[in-house]
Chain A
Amino acid sequence: MEAANPSGDLSAEMEVDAFRRLFPLRFFDRHLVESIRPDGRPLGRARDTTLALGAVASADGSALAKIGSTTMLAAIKLEVMTPATESPDEGSIAIDFHMPPICSPMVRPGRPAEAAPVISKQLSDTILSSGVINLKELCLISGKAAWMAYLYPEERNNMNLKVDKLWNFMITIVDIYCLDADGALFDAALLSAIAAFSHLEIPVVSLDEDGRVVILSQDEGLKTSNEPVNAEKRKLTLSDIPFSLTCILYKNYILADPTAEEESVMETLITVVLDSSYQLVSLYKPGGSVLAYTSALQDCIALTRHRVQELKKILDEAMSEMEVD
Chain B
Amino acid sequence: MSGKGGSATPTTYSPSPQNQKKPKSLIFKDDVDWVRPDGRGFQHCRPAFLRTGAVSAASGSAYAEFGNTKVIVSVFGPRESKKSQMYSDIGRLNCNVSNTTFATPVRGQGSDHKEFSSVLHKALEGAIILESFPKTTVDVFALVLESGGSDLPVVISCASLALADAGIRMYDLVASVSVSCLGKNLVIDPIFEEENCRDGSLMITCMASRNEVTQLTITGEWSTPKIHEAMQLCLDACMKLRMVMRSCLKDSASSQE
Contact = CB atoms under 8 A, between A and B. Distances in A.
A110 B8 CA distance: 26
Given A84-B3, A84-B7, A205-B15, A100 B98 contact: yes
Contacts of A214: 15, 17, 20
Nearest to B56: A69
B12 A56 contact: no
Given A56-B102, A59-B102, A84-B7, A102 B73 contact: yes
Tell which of A59, A101, A181, A203 has the most Cβ of chain B within 10 Å: A101
Given A80-B15, A85-B1, A165-B1, A96 B141 contact: no
A177 B73 contact: no
B57 A69 contact: yes
A85 to B, nearest CB: 4
Q: How large is the interface on A (under 10, 10 to 19, 20 to 34, 35 or more residues)?
A: 35 or more
Interface string B203-219: 00000000000000000
A161 to B, nearest CB: 14
A105 B14 contact: no
Interface SS of chain B: helix, strand, loop or mixed? loop
Contacts of B79: 105
A98 B14 contact: no
Contact of B55 (A77, A81, A84, A180): A180
B17 A215 contact: yes
Interface string B96-108: 1010111011010
B238 interface: no
A182 B101 CA distance: 23
Nearest to A79: B12
Interface string A74-110: 0101111110111000001010101011111100011
A105 B76 CA distance: 7
A213 interface: yes
B9 A85 contact: no
Nearest to B96: A109
Contacts of B61: 102
B157 interface: no
Interface in A167-199: 167, 171, 173, 175, 177, 179-182
Contacts of B105: 58
Interface in A54-80: 56-59, 62, 69, 71, 73, 75, 77-80
A182 B55 CA distance: 10
A23 B244 CA distance: 43
A127 interface: no
A52 interface: no
B74 interface: yes
A217 interface: yes
B35 interface: no
Interface in A14-65: 56-59, 62
Interface string B145-183: 110000000000000000000000000000000000000
B87 to A, nearest CB: 21
A251 interface: no
Given A180-B57, A182-B57, A214-B17, A102 B101 contact: no
17 contacts: A75-B100, A80-B14, A81-B11, A85-B1, A85-B3, A100-B141, A101-B74, A102-B58, A102-B61, A102-B72, A102-B74, A171-B12, A175-B110, A179-B54, A180-B55, A182-B57, A214-B15
4 closest A-B pairs by CB: A85-B3, A102-B74, A79-B12, A101-B141
Given A100-B143, A213-B15, 13 more contacts: A56-B145, A96-B101, A102-B55, A102-B142, A105-B58, A109-B141, A165-B1, A173-B107, A179-B55, A179-B143, A212-B13, A212-B15, A216-B17
